A and B are shown apart, each in its own frame.
Chain A
Amino acid sequence: MYAFEFEKPATIADAVAALGGEEAQALGGGQTLIPTLKQRLAQPGTLVSLKGIPEMAGICVADDGALAVGGATTHATVAASTEYPGLAGLASHIGDPAVRNRGTIGGSLANNDPAACYPAAALGSGATIKTNTREIAADDYFQGMFTTALEDGEIITEVRFPVPEVSNYQKFVQPASRFALVGVFVAKYADGVRVAVTGASEDGVFRWSEAEAALSANFAPEAIEGLSVDADGMIGDIHGSKAYRAHLVGVMTKRAVAAAS
């Protein structure tokens, strides 16, 4: 990697200030950024670690019953939590133990890898992404592969998840990376069902509205029968064709509904 300065502020305010510097970049758990630096594919002037900020770490239940997860909370911490089993289950299968004990929810959502797991949970739960300046609805936050509503220097301080009645995440892994080739998060709320798909689309995570409508009417795997996503717009690569991914969206959705608890 190229040489860089390193700062580890203790407050959000200090982190925001540090990120105002020239060519400064936020560092969460580093599970994507550090390998990128090692490959010399990024050259930040300063890395600002967000892992020394107590107000950004940890999990609690908010007054409205939503689960509030600090932006610097590791996947392992979320995996060990009990309030939102579908979310904990998703977090428990991200990467391997080393990744889960370093990687953070804020880092994952800020990066918005099209094959990452957390975007499916955030979008599938209708979560609110809280930053140092504002609150962003998940429906507005994800804007395509590696693209989000975040402005330069904006930090995800918290993610607030409404807890559904039942939920589940089913991931079909890409054999090499074990990222999601297709991952589907299904959450059933009193006012309807949300279905979010990661890994599959050239536009990144998306909601499968047709399935949401069918499942809102009948929350059962059979409700998906006959429904399909359009293979156009799906990712096609050496691990699977567009048609294969489109097919898997249906399979994983059914399995998520069947497994939802």
Chain B
Amino acid sequence: MSQHLAIIPILLPLFAGLLMLLPPLAGVENIRRRRITSLIVGAVSIFAAANLAVQVQQGPLFYALGNWQAPNGIVLMADPLAAMLVLATCILVFGSTVYACAGEDRQGAYFYPLLQFQLMGINGAFLTADLFNLFVFFEVLLIASYSLLIHGGGKQKTQANVHYVVLNLVGSSLFLFALGALYGTLGTLNMLDMAMRVPTISEGEQVIAKVGGLMLLMVFGLKAAMLPLHFWLPKTYSAASASVAALFAIMTKVGIYSIYRVYTMIFGEHAGPLADMALGWIWPLALLTLIGGAIGVLASPNLRQMAANMVIISVGTLLISFAIRSQEASAAGFYYMIHSTFVTAALFMIADMLGQQRGKALDRFVVARKVKQPVLLGSLFFVASMAVAGLPPFSGFIGKLLILQSAHQATEMIWVWTLILLAGLVCIVALSRAGSTVFWRHTGGNNNDIASLSYWQIGAAGLMLLMSPLMVVFGAVTTEYMQLAALQLHQFSGLFELLGRANP
């Protein structure tokens, strides 16, 4: 069993999704059965992912699909970085399943199958060690996300979806162009094999490989919402229904993960003449992304858009942690990546719950009727704000602290410290303004006609928020794991032998 552990996070959602399209579970009247199945599958996939995460501490697992050996066959590679992100995705999907049980799942017949297919795509993208396979899993997660985004229907969603789909289709074409260029020069698409061959290619081929590599950066930048490719994000995320938006919190991280993987492994410091070729682009763009996100947060008219702009801030922070290019910074980045995923997911859920209790005003920052459960929602919002702004005692503080600590050179420190701390300040200002408007400035009047929140919703938001203190309480274990992940990511040369070839 344990040798198949690496593929279980991909196969389990695939079969669960297919199962839910079949008679005993399909159909409007069987929604209860689908809910129960989804919850069970969610729990099992968390268990499997946790198992995988424990297993890979001894060393990365390789899984040759169909037993076709690398470098010709497609290989899955579960190293601590991938396993940790798979675990985070499984928990996130479980959270959004729980949230959807409150009633959002009734808005469309295929919500749960799509959720499972999305999980399969994301897990696959994290686990694969083949660049073309990465493209395939990107498409799997994208086509599921196209349909999930429009879940529930309505003008706003259709409009946001058109932009999202067109942009991502252009992105997919670019991805294929990049893959063609890279395959033409390197003759392989296995990431480890590519890493081995990059330093040896001739000067003429270097140009083409560089073009391919930079096109890949554009594709990943589009997925990760790196400035100036981020304009689709606030509209898309704020249009999606809450459980879907919460799930989308991991989607930008798929882009960040791919940047980490490709530009550390293939075009990292070992790449000879092409070493760190994307760094010159990523540094300024990371800083600009942070600034763009901060401006967006200040300008947001409602809580969902504010949360979406917080996603952009987290992307900027993560890109900075990538750009510092040290193991320490990568470990800090991974910690922040997991933290920001859960916290932004919680923010989207809280925004939706607030919207349900404020009548027509939804979650806009205007004076409206009183929230029915101000203490409960207020506490959730307060905790989420503290975590997202990076105040102690929550995980945002530790994540930011680790990133700040990892900047050593003077110029790095000036830019990184100033911008990350300023972005944190902007978040605090914007969130406190938002919180005081939403909770304290109301028109009064009775609010007996508003329904109370479902326990499913509160439970889901609570679960997402709980991750933040858990990451602090088990801080030593988590940071050690992140350091292991960073070590594996940066020092991968030992893995070449596993490809059946000599070390270069």
- Bound pair (A, B): no
What residues make up the interface of B, taking CB atoms closer than 8 Å to A?
Answer: none
What residues make up the interface of A, taking CB atoms closer than 8 Å to B?
Answer: none
